[in-house]
């Protein structure tokens, strides 16, 4: 089972496992394990299962137990109760779309890596003030996209982000080229028709393409 690399003296990080973190919505529990296996085989070990469906926690548990190469996390975490439930299911990291002090302290006390969501400079500064340097930037495109993140890198270089929301293979390299972006989140490697057909080979192919993404160089080609 892959370990989470260190992002600092003591904090583990999920931002360095792969350039893309798949954001997974599991509707049918039977899909959880083969879907995760396809993603891992394609080179995307960090898998965020969103807590948006009745089977989400069971899906996390199934992936944690049945896919040794996966680093499965819980997304759309918005309450301390969900933090506890996700940990009990085997989640190894937590992602929230936003944060409050109560939620932040619960995630911090969990002992696993967490990415609180931000969309404004003030939120970033508030998290830095609380000792948090790694964050989810959401909704990325709607909140200003690469231009916004680039403008943050000068005054707040210590903050690192996983942008999510409106990101696909066309614009992901632009995000990954930014010095304050560790990875991006997205679901384009999980098209609805492939999931419906249980075409795990197609999912693996799309995952492999995503795993090969990198930032655009000044000349406009992948570095």
**pLDDT tens figures, 4-49:** 543 333 445 899 999 999 999 999 999 999 999 999 999 999 999 9
Please tell me which residue in 11, 27, 48, 174 is annotated as part of the active site.
48
Catalytic residue list contains 136: yes
User: CB of 56 within 8 A of CB of 95?
Assistant: no
Q: Which of 134, 136, 174, 204 is catalytic?
A: 136
137: enclosing H helix or E strand: strand 134-137
The pLDDT tens digits along the chain (223 residues) read: 455 543 333 445 899 999 999 999 999 999 999 999 999 999 999 999 999 999 999 999 999 999 999 999 999 999 999 999 999 999 999 999 999 999 999 999 999 999 999 999 999 999 999 999 999 999 999 999 999 999 999 999 999 999 999 999 999 999 999 999 999 999 999 999 999 999 999 999 999 999 999 876 443 433 3
User: Look-up: residue for tokens 């879907």?
Assistant: 35
Please, are residues 200 and 35 in contact by the beta-carbon 8 Å criterion?
Answer: yes
Distances, alpha carbon 144 to alpha carbons 45, 151, 152, 223, in Å: 28, 10, 11, 24
150 is catalytic: no
Structure tokens, 68: 């040794």
Q: Which of 140, 104, 106 is CA-nearest to residue 120? A: 140
């Amino acid at each position: 089972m892959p370990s989470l690399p260190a992002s600092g003296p003591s904090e583990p990080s999920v931002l360095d496992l792969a350039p893309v973190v798949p954001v997974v919505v599991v509707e049918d529990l039977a899909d959880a394990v083969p879907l995760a296996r396809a993603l891992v085989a394609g080179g995307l070990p960090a898998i965020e299962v969103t807590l948006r469906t009745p089977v989400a926690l069971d899906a996390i548990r199934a992936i944690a137990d049945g896919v040794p190469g996966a680093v499965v996390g819980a997304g759309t975490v918005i309450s301390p109760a969900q933090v506890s439930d996700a940990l009990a299911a085997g989640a190894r990291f937590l992602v929230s779309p936003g944060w409050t002090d109560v939620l932040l302290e619960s995630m911090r006390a969990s002992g696993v890596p967490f990415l609180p969501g931000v969309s404004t400079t003030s939120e970033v500064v508030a998290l830095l003030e609380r000792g948090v340097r790694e964050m989810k930037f959401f909704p990325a495109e709607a909140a200003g996209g690469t231009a916004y993140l680039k403008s943050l890198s000068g005054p707040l270089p210590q903050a690192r982000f996983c942008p999510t929301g409106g990101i696909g293979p066309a614009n992901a390299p632009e995000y990954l080229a930014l010095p304050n972006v560790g990875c991006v989140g997205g679901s384009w490697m999980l098209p609805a028709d492939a999931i419906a057909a249980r075409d795990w080979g197609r999912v693996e192919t799309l995952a492999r393409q995503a795993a090969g993404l990198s930032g655009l160089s000044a000349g406009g080609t992948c570095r």
